Amino acid sequence: MSDQLITHIRNFVQLTDEEAELISSKVTLVKLKKKAFVLTPGKLCKANYFVAKGLMRLYFISKKDIEQITQFALENWWITDYDSVDSKRPSHFYIQAVEDTEVIVLDQLTEDELIARIPAFEHYLRLMLQKAFTAAQRRMEMLNNMTDEERYRSFSSRFPDFNQRVPQYMVASYLGITPQFISRVRARKPRIS
* Residues lying near a copy of itself in the complex (CB under 8 A): 60, 62-63, 68, 70-71, 82-83, 86, 115, 119, 122-123, 125-126, 129-134, 136-141, 143-146, 176
Query: Which H helix or E strand runs over 188?
Result: helix 179-188
Q: How far is the CB of 39 from a copy of itself (least distance, A)?
A: 14
Q: How far is the CB of 64 from a copy of itself (least distance, A)?
A: 8
Closer by beta carbon to a copy of itself, 105 or else 146: 146
Closer by beta carbon to a copy of itself, 134 or else 180: 134
The 3-class secondary structure across 85-110, one letter per residue, is HHHCCCCCCEEEECCCEEEEEEEHHH
Q: How far is the CB of 10 from a copy of itself (least distance, A)?
A: 18
Amino acid (1-letter code) at residue 76: N
Pick from 77, 139, 87, 131: nearest CA to 108: 87
Query: Which H helix or E strand runs over 30?
Result: strand 28-32
Closer by beta carbon to a copy of itself, 29 or else 179: 179
Name, in order, each residue with C-beta under 8 angstroms of 110's C-beta and a sequence gap of 6 or more. Answer: 26, 27
Closer by beta carbon to a copy of itself, 34 or else 62: 62
Q: How far is the CB of 31 from a copy of itself (least distance, A)?
A: 27
